[in-house]
Amino acid sequence: MDETQELEERFAQLREDLARNRLQEFREQFLELHIYEQGQFYRSLDEAQRNLVYAYLSPKELADMFDVLEEDKDEIKEFLAEMRPSYAAEMLAEMYTDNAVDLLNTLPKPQVAQYLTLMETEAATEIKDLLHYEDDTAGSIMTTEYVSIVANQTVRSAMYVLKSEAAVAETIYYIYVIDQEERLVGVISLRDLIINDDDQMIQEIMSERVMSVHVGDDQEDVAQTFRDYDFLALPVTDYDDHLLGIVTVDDIIDVIDDEAASDYSGLAGVNVEEISENPIKSANRRLPWLITLLFLGMATATLISHYEQLVSKASILAVFISLITGTAGNAGTQSLAVAVRRLAMSDNKEAGIWKTIVGEVITGLFTGLITGVTIFLIVAIWKGNPILGFVIGMAMMCAITVANLAGSLIPMLMDKLGFDPAVASGPFITTLSDLTSVLIYFNIASIFMSYFLN
């Protein structure tokens, strides 16, 4: 029996325990599951079954599961609405602060205020402190559950602090050293505490070269720092270097997922998170892009109609319109994807602009030349007309080169103007490529028409 089948059997047994009100058996089996598996089981239940779970589990036990539950705004609202407000408030208070804040940010403000009122003062204050930070910043994803010590204490006393706070800290692998004014002055690892003598002073063994991020830094920049330095956690400070919290690697994994989904949404021109969304809402989200692209497409249609006389004289030209526009659009989308990725990964965007432009022009010319020669040979043999083949091949090469250049320049322009480069979406680039390809194609055709019609 494989692991999936075994897990399904355990889920079936848990459902039976719920149905037969076997409280003790359910608790034992459920709490033996990994918290990720607990979340999978919980999401598979209907409302009536979940209400039994709330009766069988304490808010703390449910909080452990909610700490790793994948966020879905509509689902979270539904789950919290099922619970008694006092139960939900206690559960949120038992969660790690950053995770509780993430959940509360999905709720209407009156509901958030109700939960904060029902919480104990200390938990509510910690959550309020994080709620006011702007979305997508280091402050919005940091946690205040960390271990800090002062420099003028011994390893023995530091270990005492660590043991007393470890139960509620999100991570204990790094211990941050602060001065009397709570400014960050160093960092020490758990290993350092273990291997050094109990009477050793912290200031003698701590590292003063501590990397930190500012509370207002963009979460994408924070993720880049994690990637570059392979950290498990990073301290978050204000302008005066006061330690405010830490960002942990599990939060950064979520950020990377969110940023990837956002970039893919931009490239596709659609919200990729709408998988389980109501069809009407889904349509409403997609329509603005489609209508905008429709008007851009009308510009292409108008341009084609401008060359109507040319097409009527050489109807063979109409056969290759979609071939040229489609190939150029594909080339532009490829260039766009590379440009967006390069902008996301680059530390010095200014220095690489001209290198990128020259690189994309060379790439466009090379791919355009190979594609152009290929289509030239095909058309020349198929239609027995080398001049027509030359026109199609030349138009293809020029269209691909221009599309490549546009696919790299537009994201750079977006980035320069302060917009997300990914909003220069694939459909937009494709439609723009259609417009430029048609213009290139018919201008080249008009120059050589007298030759390939003979």
In the prediction, which pLDDT does 89 show? 94
Specify the DSSP class assigned to residue 261. H
In the prediction, which pLDDT does 258 show? 74
- Kindly state whether residues 187 and 115 are assigned to the same domain: no
Residue 353, pLDDT above cutoff 80: no
Percent of the chain with pLDDT over 90: 43
The model's pTM: 0.64
* Last residue within a domain, chosen from 112, 135, 158: 135
- Kindly state whether residues 92 and 229 are assigned to the same domain: no
Could you give the CA distance from residue 241 to residue 253 in angstroms, rounded to a whole number?
26
Is position 272 within any domain? Answer: no
Is position 295 within any domain? Answer: yes
For the segment 313-351, what is each residue's pLDDT rounded down to a tens digit? 888 888 898 899 889 888 888 887 777 777 666 655 555
- Kindly state whether residues 85 and 42 are assigned to the same domain: yes
How many domains does the chain divide into? 3
Domain that holds residue 448: 279-452
CB 88 within 8 A of CB 111: no
* Last residue within a domain, chosen from 257, 287, 317: 257
- Kindly state whether residues 283 and 361 are assigned to the same domain: yes
In the prediction, which pLDDT does 72 show? 66
Residue 264, pLDDT above cutoff 70: no
- Kindly state whether residues 327 and 415 are assigned to the same domain: yes
Residue 237, pLDDT above cutoff 90: yes
Q: What is the mean pLDDT of residues 367-385?
A: 91
* Rounded alpha-carbon distances, angstroms, from residue 334 to 147, 265, 427: 46, 15, 12
Percent of the chain with pLDDT over 70: 88
Is position 262 within any domain? Answer: no
- Kindly state whether residues 437 and 321 are assigned to the same domain: yes
Is position 319 within any domain? Answer: yes
- Kindly state whether residues 433 and 360 are assigned to the same domain: yes
Residue 433 makes CB contacts below 8 A (sequence gap 6+) with 325, 328, 329, 331, 332, 399, 402, 403, 406
- Kindly state whether residues 413 and 361 are assigned to the same domain: yes
Is position 140 within any domain? Answer: no
Q: What is the mean pLDDT of residues 69-90?
A: 85
Structure tokens at 310: 């040319």
Exposed/middle/buried for residue 158 (C-beta within 10 Å: 0-12, 13-18, 19+): buried
Structure tokens at 116: 């904060």
User: What CATH number did the domain enclosing 358 receive?
Assistant: 1.10.357.20
CB 233 within 8 A of CB 225: no
Question: Is the C-alpha dihedral spanning 367, 368, 369, 374 positive or negative?
Answer: positive
Is position 273 within any domain? Answer: no
CB 142 within 8 A of CB 248: no
* Last residue within a domain, chosen from 207, 222, 257: 257
Residue 213, pLDDT above cutoff 90: yes
User: What CATH number did the domain enclosing 153 receive?
Assistant: 3.10.580.10
In the prediction, which pLDDT does 224 show? 87
H/E run at residue 176: strand 174-178
For the segment 109-153, what is each residue's pLDDT rounded down to a tens digit? 889 999 999 999 989 998 998 888 888 899 989 999 999 999 999
Residue 12, pLDDT above cutoff 80: yes
- Kindly state whether residues 304 and 365 are assigned to the same domain: yes
- Kindly state whether residues 126 and 193 are assigned to the same domain: no
In the prediction, which pLDDT does 138 show? 92
Q: What is the mean pLDDT of residues 25-44?
A: 92
- Kindly state whether residues 89 and 126 are assigned to the same domain: yes
User: What CATH number did the domain enclosing 54 receive?
Assistant: 1.25.60.10
Is position 141 within any domain? Answer: no
Per-residue pLDDT band for 356 (boundaries 50, 70, 90) equals: confident
- Kindly state whether residues 47 and 155 are assigned to the same domain: no
Is position 274 within any domain? Answer: no
